[in-house]
Amino acid sequence: MNWQVVKDLVTYGREQEKLHNKNFRFTLTTNGVLLSDEIMEFCNREMANVVLSVDGRKEVHDFMRPFRKGTGSYDMIMPKFKKFADSRNQQKYYVRGTFTHYNLDFANDVLHLADEGFEQISVEPVVAPATEEYALKESDIPAILAEYDKLAAEMVKREKEGRGFTFFHYMIDLSGGPCVYKRLSGCGSGTEYLAVTPWGDLYPCHQFVGIEKYLMGNVDEGITRPDIVDEFKCCNVYTKEKCRNCFAKFYCSGGCAANSYNFHGTIQDAYDIGCELQRKRVECAIMIKAALADNADKE
C-alpha cells in the first residue's frame, strides 16, 4: 500500500550492504490485491523470497478474506499469483494460507493450490483467542491430525507419480538440517531477529508489537532493554518444561514465543494445540521420507 517505501528501503539497503560488506535478503508478503507487473518485475530483481497469501479453495479464501463490500479477492489474485510464481520459475516463493475451524478439511486447500500449479505451498493453522469463532478448538484436533495424514499420503502418491510439490511444514532434513544452536532456540526472535515498526520501535518480532513490556528500544537509541534480549536468549527447548521430553524438540525448537505469551502470559511455555499439530507434522514428514526412501531402494 506504500510501494514507494518498499522501493526506497531496498535502495537504501543496497547502498548499505556495499558499505558494510553485507548481503541483505529482502522478502515481500502480499495479498495480491495491488500486485502489478511492475511490482512483480521489481520483486524478481530484488526479493530473495515472496509470500503470496491465499487460503486455498475459492470459497474458503473468499469467506475469510472479503473486501469491505463483501465480495472476495480470489478471482482477482489467482491469475496474478500464477503468473508471479511462474515468473520466478516456481522457486523462491510460497503461496501461504491459513486454515481455521471453518475448513478442517484443509488438505483439500493444499491440494487445490497444487492442482492450480503451485509447487511451493504453506498452509498453517490459525492461532486465535478461543473467543473467535474461527479459532481452532481442542475438539478439532482429531480431524486436523487425520487431515495431515491424508495430505502426507497424497503427497507420497504424487511424488511417486512425478508431480510432487513442497509443503513447507513437511520439510525436514534428517541427515543434516539446522545447526544445533538453531535446533535449540528456533526462530531467533529477540536475539538475532527484530521487528521494526513504521515509527521506529524495536520488538522481538512482529507478534510482540504493541506489547509495552517487550519494547526493546528504537532505531535512534538502539537496544535500550538488553534484559529482554537475555530473556529470549534463555528461552529454548531445555528451559521449557513442556519441551524437555518432547520427541519433536530438535525439529520444533521450542515453538513460537509469541503464541506461548498470548496463551500463557510467558514466553517460557508452549501453546498446547500448536504442539499437538507440530508433533503430527514432524511425524508425517518422517513418514514421507521413509516412504520415498523405500521407493528409491526398490528402484
Contact with ligand SF4 (CB under 6 A) among 57, 61, 101, 249: 249
Of 43, 187, 216, 288, the one binding ligand SF4 by CB under 6 A: 187
Q: Which helix (H) or strand (E) holds 203?
A: strand 201-203
Cβ of 185: how many Cβ atoms within 10 Å? 23
| Main-chain phi, psi angles of 155, to 5 degrees | -65, -40
For position 228 contacting ligand SF4 by CB under 6 A, the verdict is: no
The whole-angstrom separation of Cα 166 and Cα 162 is 13
Q: Which of 85, 205, 215, 216 is in the footprint of ligand SF4 by CB under 6 A?
A: 205
The reply to whether 255 sits near ligand SF4 by the rule CB under 6 A is yes
Q: How many residues are given for the chain?
A: 299
Helix, strand or coil, per DSSP, at residue 224: coil
The radius of gyration computed from the CA coordinates of the chain, to the nearest angstrom, equals: 20
> How far apart are CB 257 and ligand SF4 at their closest, in Å?
4
> Which of 254, 268, 285, 288 touches ligand SF4 (CB under 6 A)?
254
Q: How far is CA 286 from CA 136, 138, 187, 251, 275, in A?
A: 25, 25, 21, 11, 17
The pair phi, psi for residue 77, each rounded to 5°, is -90, -30
Instruction: Kindly report the backbone phi and psi dihedral angles of residue 14, in degrees, each rounded to the nearest multiple of 5, phi listed first.
Output: -65, -35
Which residues from 51-80 bind ligand SF4, rule CB under 6 A? Answer: none
Residues numbered 267-296 forming contacts with ligand SF4, rule: CB under 6 A: 270, 275, 278-279
Residue 261 beta carbon to ligand SF4: minimum distance, rounded to whole angstroms: 8
- Choosing from 85, 151, 257, 288, the residue that interacts with ligand SF4 (CB under 6 A) is 257
Q: Binder to ligand SF4 among 95, 110, 243, 285 (CB under 6 A)?
A: 243
Which of 108, 122, 189, 268 contacts ligand SF4 by CB under 6 A? 189
Residue 182 or 279: the one with the smaller Cβ distance to ligand SF4 is 279
**CB atoms closer than 10 angstroms to residue 184:** 18
By CB under 6 A, tell whether 236 contacts ligand SF4.
no
* 202 sits near ligand SF4 (criterion: CB under 6 A): no
- Measured between alpha carbons, how far is 62 from 86 in angstroms, rounded to an integer? 23
C-alpha grid cell for residue 73?
Answer: 479477492
The least CB distance from residue 112 to ligand SF4, in Å, is 26
> Toward ligand SF4, which CB reaches closer, 53 or 207?
207
Minimum CB separation of residue 19 from ligand SF4 in Å reads 28
Cell numbers standing for residue 183: 535446533
Q: Give the phi and the psi of residue 107 in degrees, each rounded to 5.
A: -60, -35
Residues of the shown chain interacting with ligand SF4 in the complex, contacts defined by CB under 6 A: 187, 189, 205, 207, 237, 240, 242-243, 246, 248-249, 252, 254-258, 270, 275, 278-279
